[in-house]
Amino acid sequence: MLKIFCLFIVIHSQASFAASSDEIRDAIHARMSERHPEPNPNFWTQLGPEALPVIKAMYQASTSPIEQTWLIDGLSHFSDPSVGDLLKTSIQGSDNAVFKKKMISALIESQGESSYDFVEP
């Protein structure tokens, strides 16, 4: 019985540390709204894998070039194939050379060698 109780406590305590989508979104907005925010790779990875859907949704909803730049940087820290798909679609749909360059860099950082066929056809 004691083992089951201890297991329950461990599982419950781990679940309570997972940030909600709103908390992740708030943390990203707070970081982006700093006076002189510094890009910090640890910021994105510390948010954990549950941050990826939030970052993707924020990127797709954003119309601010500054926000989009930050969110592209965030996406580059995740190697999930869906990041590659999103960035490839965004690259193909963009007429902005600066954003294309940023997205290509993020694609390479995120997907590594698997992005080379797309980047250099």
- Tell me what pLDDT residue 39 has: 67
Q: Is 64 contained in some domain?
A: yes
3-state secondary structure 70-110: HHHHHHCCCCCHHHHHHHHHHHHHCCCHHHHHHHHHHHHHH
Q: Give the pLDDT of residue 4.
A: 45
Largest CA distance in the chain: 63
In a domain? residue 14: no
Residue 2 within any structural domain of the chain? no
Is residue 10 in a domain? Answer: no
Domain limits for position 33: 20-119
Number of domains in the chain: 1
What is the reported pLDDT for 17? 52
Residue whose structure tokens are 């890009």? 39
Contact between 58 and 25 (Cβ < 8 Å): yes
Tokens of 89: 């679609």
> Does residue 4 sit within a domain?
no
Which regions of the chain are under pLDDT 50?
2-16
| Residue 41: predicted pLDDT | 74
48 conformational bin, left if phi > 0, alpha if psi -120 to 50, beta if neither:
left
Residue 31 resides in a domain: yes
- Is 81 domain-assigned? yes
3 located within any domain: no
